[in-house]
Structure 1
Amino acid sequence: MLVTFEVTYAEGWWSASAHAPENAIYTQGKSVGELIDNILEATSLHYTEELEAGERITIVTRYKPETREPEGQIPSNFEYKVDIVAATSGC
């Protein structure tokens, strides 16, 4: 399963949202690292049953400029991709 997040930056916060049929996930973070951690956590919680069933979830983020922030604070090409696979108990 592919989950695509649109990432924006405004007023010192990174925000991410994913929209698809039966899917709406929103999260934010003060840094890109915090945002990615929150995206992973929110997606894992949203798709708990699918992960427990062994489904692989691929997360892709895409940056969409929303406002003019000071130069150097926002990467010009921000994209991140990660796969989540359910952990097996006892490992």
Structure 2
Amino acid sequence: MSNEEMATLGAKRLTMQLDLTAQQEEKLKTFYLDQMESRRKLMEKSKKERDEIRQDRMEMNEDQKEELRKILTEEQFTKWEQLQEKRRKGRKAPMRERQN
């Protein structure tokens, strides 16, 4: 359903329950549409912030990896990467499987 349809349905439902006037029903419909638009904007903002945080974290991880590469020998770094991969795979497994 579209936002318009949901707002209309919600307003009609309350109109029947509360015996609202046509004017009140229209105002309620507008109120619902405004609320939906506000929520949509908030969700978009949250998604953008999550994406930005994820990107920042990825960049930070790459920087940290480069620092580690300077500290460790090539063999040590390769082993560290293998340990990290094993750790990532362990996180994805359900808790039940990890304990076995």
The two structures have a TM-score, normalised by structure 2, of: 0.25
Q: Which has the higher contact order (CA 8 A, sep 6+)?
A: 1
Q: Which has the higher helix share?
A: 2
More strand by percentage: 1
Larger radius of gyration: 2
Q: Normalization by structure 1: what TM-score? A: 0.27
